[in-house]
Amino acid sequence: MISGANFAPAKPGDVLTLYATGFGLTTPAFEAGQLPDTIAPTVQKVRVTVGGIELGDADVLYAGVTPGLAGVYQVNLRLPAETPDGEQTVVVRVGNFTSPPGAYVTVKR
In a domain, 84, yes or no: yes
Q: How many domains does the chain have?
A: 1
Task: Give residue 1's pLDDT.
Answer: 57
Instruction: Name the strands in the sheet holding 60-65, side by side, starting at the edge strand that comes first in the sequence.
Output: 15-20, 73-78, 60-65
Task: Give residue 60's pLDDT.
Answer: 98
In a domain, 5, yes or no: no
In a domain, 6, yes or no: no
Task: Give residue 28's pLDDT.
Answer: 96
List the chain residues with pLDDT less than 70: 1-2
In a domain, 10, yes or no: no
Strands (E), 7-85: 15-20, 46-50, 53-54, 60-65, 73-78
